[in-house]
Chain A
Amino acid sequence: MAGAPRKLANGKAFIDFQTEPSRYRHWKLSVQGETATLAMDVDENAGLFEGYQLKLNSYDLGVDIELADALMRLRFEHPNVKVVLLRSAKDRVFCAGANIRMLAGSEHPHKVNFCKFTNETRNAMEDASQYSGQRFVTVVNGTAAGGGYELALATDHIMMVDDGSTAVSLPEVPLLAVLPGTGGLTRVVDKRMVRRDHADVFCTIEEGIKGRRAVQWRLIDELVPPSKLEERVKATASDLATKSPRSGPAEGVKLTQLDRKFRADGIDYGFVRLDIEAAQRLATITVRVAEAASAKSAAEIVALGAAFWPLQCARELDDAILHLRNNAYEIGTVIFKTEGDPEVARAYDDLLEAHRDNWFVHEIRHYWKRVLKRIDVTSRTLVALIEPGSCFVGTLAELAFAADRSYMLLGQFQGDNRPAATIELTRANFGAYPMSHGLTRLQSRFLATPDKPAQLEAKIATALDADEAEALGLVTFALDDIDWADEVRVFLEERASFSPDAMTGLEANLRFAGPETMESKIFARLTAWQNWIFQRPNAVGEEGALARYGTGQRPTYDLRRV
């Protein structure tokens, strides 16, 4: 099943991750003082693809793109919002989770990337709470099943109406023979610390758990009689607002529309360029630093708003990565290149460091952190090519550290009078952008020599040439121009010849050396298992649970345990 690619609705040619509240079809974002309400009201006839209806507030990627956009805006445009109420605008239905018919009819790559994006979006909610004091409260007013409950799990506080029928559930296993793969299993035990045997019971009951037991088992925080609901929601919101450390001004920074020019073979943004060579299954993302760091004070930075280079650049990079992930499945390798004046790049990093306590700068750094994490979990081979004219400095150097390999040119190219490439560390490389497992990319890189990152701090603001960078272990290979072209070409060709599945597995296993956190487990453990199960006949075969769903017929399983 799921053979023929599905058609995007309304004649769309690609999935666009840019939107804004006036274009939302599925959410309503409203702000009242320190409290925002994010009301889910899915338009069942506005699915991203043709061929299904989004009934009962079920969602597809299109719904989640709006949610992700709203979360971004809450952080940048509403610095004074301390509490976000996640609610349903539908009567007696909270959210029925990911739409089953959409999943059943989706190509495997879409399913995986849909799931990855929804995971990143839920993580963004937790990130907003942890780092920006924006607390999330879920008001479960009716069925919260599967992805609906997973949405609630990503929030800080779950209140549920005690009407005798409303329940939370993770029915994926009994109903569909797949997993609650959007963080569900992990958050139940790792975040909410539901006892594992209780979790086992909960995850195998299709109808879920309601009432007092849901509280006793830690599945929700609070049970509220329907007649007291609004009063309790208000009280909870005001209580959480009082405790929140968020203290931004009333006026935020408007996230203006990105300026994008679509070409047949790529996209041009202000500071980012995406070039696709379909025949080689290759994409190049070139990130350019601004001409100069014009702002000096926090006020000047805020005044620049969405045009401030670090923010604009991060948004463009984010969009380019998402575009590649979801619209160009056959591109196997992504090359990162940078351009610009290292002095300027360093100046930006220093500026961000100096004003790190300013709300806007704070949000920008955390946004860069999330964009880099998105790159970490992108299942394409990532390569950094560090050549003369490049600008792998501080924040941009993280692209090289995120890559599976980096190649750096020793000296100059013949006939090119630009000075030899260097790379440079800034404070940003030492803690501003931790990976999902909690380590910086340098800590993870040098797991065998835990002292090394601290020693490298001595090199901050020193331009490191290829020899030194290689000696310090910051790049994979330093090559001179005699070897460069051939070595790089052979590497890329070899890479393109390997099994894409094996590459995805290999890279995902090597990129995250070190410990696990709840967040890393969601990607490394939960989604990996989920994606395996999603390929198996018990789920997607002709007699599998997803194919049989809704027909009334029971699935037939291959009963061997693997």
Chain B
Amino acid sequence: MLDTMNVDYSTRIPNNVGLAEDRTVLRALEGWHPGYIDWWKDMGPIGFQESRVYLRTAVSVDPKGWAKFDYVKMPEYRWGVLLAPQEEGRKVNFGKHKGEPAWQDVPGEYRAMLRRLIVIQGDTEPASVEQQRHLGATAPSLYDMRNLFQVNVEEGRHLWAMVYLLHKYFGRDGRDEADELLRRRSGDADSPRMLGAFNEATPDWLSFFMFTFFTDRDGKMQLESLAQSGFDPLSRTCRFMLTEEAHHMFVGETGVGRTLQRTCEAMKAAGIEDPYAIEKIRALGVIDLPTIQKKLNLHYSLTLDLFGAEISTNSANFYNAGLKGRFQETKIDDDHELTNATYPVLKLVDGQIVKVDEPALTALNMRLRDDYSEDCARGVERWNKIIEKEGIKFRLDLPHVAFHRKIGEFRNVNVSPKGIILSDSDWAKVRDQYLPSLADGEYITSLMKPCFEPGRYASWIAAPKVGIDNKPGDFEYVQIAA
């Protein structure tokens, strides 16, 4: 009997999918493995491959006790294939196949669609590792460095998860696509990653935190909708990935939170009440709140673009076919077919931003984006609590969804964070009030000084409340190789 709860470490590739008995897929994955390690060495974190990092490794997919912490050199990390356990009698829960037993194999008519979904998801996983590879050198603490590397190895494992699906279910095309996932490189002029936002470098740690808060949250929404899939192996894979994704968002939320905390504390200590006294605040070696708002504006708007066009035939097809559902599909009270339903969509009509009812099937991107925005807003409120508690009069806000967009309805208009349409010349005048300017970037970069002494933190960020794995404050999360 296959043990689908605990991870089998007897094969070179840890797994809970019975690879020891599935020789063909094991062979394919073993063939892919050296290329992956080469990719990690070429494109993974720069400069710390020989360092021992205190990382967690999955030993079971049981949500309660799945992780074990230990020091490991990243290239020796035991990446593997882990799926949430199969649910007895699971059904396709939406679309035209609603009520049919969930598919354990790929239905022929949806093979191409499914492959595309998996490849697009898979492409984002190594991309973020590539985007963040320079950050180790400027880590504000060993604690943060360790979190970065944990995120990185887990993104690597998510790549493994997608590659497993490609190898197991998509034959030669799947193997070719898996190879391509290693060939593409974030920001490369000749073979860029598939989605625009994954070709932008992550220049500094505040960007990294914003990225893990906003962009990994898009990842969470995508995984949530794929976890609803009628293709059961995809659903199970994504369900397990979500448990890891939660940590990434924790890194983002607390990272920004600690930055806010530090700024507010420094302001108070210096007796500065006005959050817009930027020069004075910067002189304290912390990041002023208005600049943090600009970073938020940037990352939120870039991430909204990842949801694609508001009205999308592809997402309608995916849904109707039972391949990709809505966020928390099974908890929604409707017919789960949406053939007659409508959904309000923000559109640009005659130069005005208005809500228009559109067929719900084609408006699924919009719906997922709305769910995403709500989720973000809750996180932003938690940040505001930190500022409030420190007694600083300032609020962070999500900008309007039409602000600074490159994809979808609003790609051709300039819109302020409050949702006011601006002319090109007006926009040019106010742009630097809403988005990080060159000078803002230079200032943040100037703060990015490494702080590698156990228990110490860079000037601009507060220490965390508790350590990872309940370790004490001066724990050496990364033993940096000489």
- A residues touching B (Cβ–Cβ < 8 Å)? 162-165, 174, 205-207, 211, 225-228, 549-554
The answer to whether B194 touches A551, judged by C-beta atoms less than 8 angstroms apart, is no
- Flag if A553 contacts B190 (CB, 8 Å): no
Q: Quick one: which of B224-267 are within 8 Å of A by CB?
A: none
A550-B180 in contact given A163-B190, A163-B191, A226-B189 (Cβ < 8 Å): no
Q: Is the Cβ of B112 less than 8 Å from the Cβ of A164?
A: no
Give me 26 A-to-B residue pairs in the complex whose CB atoms sit less than 8 angstroms apart, sorted by A's number.
A163-B191, A163-B192, A164-B180, A164-B192, A165-B194, A206-B112, A207-B112, A207-B116, A211-B180, A225-B189, A225-B190, A225-B191, A226-B189, A226-B190, A227-B189, A228-B190, A549-B313, A550-B316, A551-B316, A551-B361, A552-B317, A552-B338, A552-B362, A553-B96, A553-B339, A554-B321
Return chain A residues, CB-CB under 8 Å to B362: 550-552
In the complex, which residue of chain B has the Cβ closest to the Cβ of A206? B112
Q: How large is the interface on B (under 10, 10 to 19, 20 to 34, 35 or more residues)?
A: 20 to 34
A341 smallest CB distance to B (angstroms): 60
User: Quick one: which of B112, B191, B320 contacts A554, CB cutoff 8 A?
Assistant: B320
Identify which of residues 165-200 in chain B touch chain A, using a CB-to-CB cut-off of 8 Å: 180, 183-184, 189-192, 194
Most-contacted residue by chain B among A164, A207, A549 (CB, 10 A): A164
In the bound complex, residues from chain A placing their C-beta under 8 Å from that of B184 are: 164
Q: How far is the CA of A205 from the CA of B190 in the complex (A)?
A: 25
Interface string of B25-36 (1 = CB under 8 A from A): 000000000000
Q: Is B359 part of the contact surface with A, judged by Cβ < 8 Å?
A: yes
Q: Which of A174, A205, A552 contacts B361 (CB 8 A)?
A: A552
Specify which of B112, B113, B320 is in contact with A553 (CB 8 Å cutoff).
B320
Are A162 and B116 in touch, CB under 8 angstroms? no
Q: Which residue of B lies closest to A208 (CB)?
A: B112
> What chain A residues lie within 8 Å of B191 (beta carbons)?
162-164, 225
Q: Is B319 an interface residue (CB 8 A)?
A: yes
Which residues from chain A contact B338 at a C-beta distance below 8 Å? 552
Residue of A165, A225, A226 most packed against chain B (CB within 10 A): A165
User: Contact at B189–A552, with CB atoms within 8 Å?
Assistant: no
- Chain A residue numbers with a CB within 8 Å of B96 are 553-554
Closest to A92 in B: B196
**In the bound complex, how far is the Cα of B190 from the Cα of A163, in angstroms?**
6
A174 contacts which chain B residues (CB < 8 A)? Answer: 112
Residues in B with CB closer than 8 Å to A165 are: 194
In the complex, what distance in Å separates the CA atom of A165 from the CA atom of B184? Answer: 10
- The interface residues of chain B lying within 8 Å CB-to-CB of A163 are 190-192
Report how far A552 CA is from B192 CA in the complex, Å.
Answer: 29
In contact, A551 and B112 (Cβ under 8 angstroms): no
Return the CB mask of B297-339 against A: 1 if under 8 Å, else 0: 0000000000000000101110111000000000000000011
Q: Closest Cβ of chain B: how far from A40's Cβ, in Å?
A: 19
> A206 vs B314: C-alpha distance in the bound complex, in angstroms?
12
User: Is the Cβ of A552 less than 8 Å from the Cβ of B183?
Assistant: no
A550 to B321 Cα, complex, angstroms: 13
Contacts of A550 in B (CB 8 A): 313, 316, 362
Do A552 and B320 touch across chains, with their CB atoms under 8 A apart?
yes
| Residue in B closest to A211 when the chains form the complex, CB atoms | B180
A206 contacts across to B, CB distance below 8 A:
112-113
Q: By the criterion CB–CB under 8 Å, are A162 and B313 in contact? A: no
A164 touches B339 (CB 8 A): no
Least distance between B288 CB and chain A CB atoms (Å): 36
Asked whether B194 lies within 8 Å of A552 as measured between CB atoms, the reply is no
A552 touches B190 (CB 8 A): no
A228 and B116 alpha carbons, distance in the complex (Å): 27
Whole-angstrom CA separation of A525 from B36 in the bound complex: 49
If A163-B192, A552-B361 are given as contacts, then 14 extra A-B residue pairs at C-beta distance below 8 Å, sorted by A number, are A162-B191, A174-B112, A206-B112, A206-B113, A225-B189, A226-B189, A228-B190, A550-B313, A550-B316, A550-B362, A552-B320, A553-B96, A553-B361, A554-B320
Instruction: Check A164/B116 contact, CB under 8 A, given A550-B362, A552-B317, A554-B96.
Output: no
For the complex of A and B, list the 5 residue pairs with the smallest distance between their C-beta atoms, beginning with the closest.
A552-B316, A552-B361, A225-B190, A552-B320, A227-B189
CA distance in complex: A226, B190 (Å): 5
Shortest distance from the beta carbon of B135 to any chain A beta carbon, whole Å: 25
- In the bound assembly, the distance between CA atoms of A553 and B340 in angstroms comes to 11
Most buried by B among A206, A549, A552, A553: A552
